[in-house]
Amino acid sequence: MIMAIILIGPQGSGKTTLAKFIVKKFLSKGFNPCVIKLIDYTIFHHAYLRALSKLSNGSDSSILFSKLFPLYALQHIMGLLISYIKFTILRLVSRCVFMVEDEGFIFKEILDLYFIAYVTGSLRSRFNLRLIRGVLALILALGGKILGRNAVIIYVSAPYDVLKVRYIIDNRGIEPKPYVDFQDVAYRLIINKFYYKTIQVNTANGVDYSSFITQVIKAIGE
């Protein structure tokens, strides 16, 4: 069965760089890893976001999120389903031993949906938060069953000030600090509460690549 290596963490933390390094090392050792983006970044996804941007027309984002929450929910639910389908098909047809995914798989979809719903008050006003947390835990547990106990989750992090500089250098939009802080709390919950094999990497002062790949190989062999 194909082993999943999933990199999670905020934008700019270094997930893609580390994923490329893992793939390069695996190739040098004679393996043929698959690299795949399981989150559905398709033309439809981009068209959807562009349409929402036009609908906002300069309106306050929290008001927009609140009004269009059902559409956002549908988008993320479809993203979850498509991610599951892609991974299932890959496991069935791929000849690769390892699958490396650096967009966060279902974990980022769930967190995005939860964050949007919570900050707009949609969850607080319409649902019981305890129930929602229970549902999210169930979904994450289901994700674990699909990934399998051999999945390796790599949490890549960096302080917000460091991420901010990287965003500016790369000329990208800066993710809001409350969102990054929320991600940090949620991702730590994932790696501490679920049975995945986990590795934590802080890229603020660079990465010791030799130590990093040793940790990955050790996690794979456990």
Q: What percent of the chain lies above the pLDDT cut of 90?
A: 18
pLDDT digits 0-9 by tens, 156-179: 999 999 988 888 877 766 777 888
Query: For 113-148, what is each residue's pLDDT tens digit?
Result: 777 666 666 555 555 556 556 666 666 666 666 666
Is the pLDDT confidence value at 21 over 70?
yes
Residue 155 gets which letter from DSSP? E
pLDDT in tens, 80-116: 777 777 777 877 887 788 888 888 877 777 777 777 6
DSSP state letters, 108-121: HHHHHHHHHHHHTT
pLDDT at 53 over 80: no
Per-residue confidence (pLDDT) for residue 15, from 0 to 100: 92
SS3 130: helix
- Residue 202 pLDDT > 90, yes or no? yes
The pLDDT score that the predictor gives to residue 1 is: 61
Pick the closest to residue 5 from 39, 32, 35, 41 (CA basis).
35
* C-alpha 62 chain-centroid distance: 23
Tokens of 32: 């043929």
Give the residue ranges of DSSP H helices in 29-158. 43-56, 61-67, 69-93, 105-119, 122-126, 129-147
- Helix (H) / strand (E) element for 96: namely none
- The whole-model pTM stands at 0.78
Cα distances from 32 to residues 99, 136, 149, 169, in angstroms, run 9, 34, 21, 33
The pLDDT of residue 151 is above 80: yes
